[in-house]
Amino acid sequence: MFSKASISNSLLLGGYSFLLWCWTMILSGDIPVSISIGELWFTLISILTFAIIGLFNTKKTNDPYLSLLLLSLPVFLWGFSIVQDLTYHYHIYSTIISITGFIVNLLITGLLLLKITNRVIKE
């Protein structure tokens, strides 16, 4: 059974990732896409903060299943964003943000999968 702390941490992690993706869509939603260097750095620092929180949560969580479930949607959303940026050659800053967000989400999801796999092997 999931504890209240585990549920809230998983919801916050998944929600933060989804909000970062929404923020990126707001930034790159204009036609033509015009992202300033300040917006790029703010977004990259936010993604780095998400990476630190996600790695800490991955290390400390006892129930990685819920975190994995809630991070699966943002991984697909970031993946679709990166494909769209690379296909239609959007602004270079938008592409950098999408690549960074996708790699960070994929890293955290991979570590959660590794933790689940190690747990199954030990049992």
Instruction: Give the range of the structural domain holding residue 95, as residue numbers without chain letter.
Output: 9-26+35-122
Residue 85 lies in a domain: yes
In a domain, 16, yes or no: yes
- Is 2 a member of any domain? no
Q: For helices 92-122 and 4-27, what crossing angle results, to 10°?
A: 160
Amino acid letter, residue 83: V
For residue 1, being part of any structural domain is answered with no
pLDDT, one tens digit per residue, over 2-55 is 688 888 888 899 999 999 999 998 888 777 778 889 999 999 999 999 999 999
CA distance 82 to 76: 10
The reply to whether 111 falls in a domain is yes
Q: How far apart are CA 54 and CA 76, in angstroms?
A: 17
Does residue 21 sit within a domain?
yes
Are 55 and 105 in contact by the 8 Å Cβ rule? The answer is no
Residue 81 covered by a domain: yes
Domain count, the chain: 1
Residue with tokens 């903060």: 49
> Does 4 reside within a domain?
no
Q: Note the pLDDT tens digit of each residue in 41-96.
A: 999 999 999 999 999 988 888 888 888 888 999 999 999 999 988 898 778 888 99
Q: pLDDT-based confidence at 113, cuts 50/70/90?
A: very high
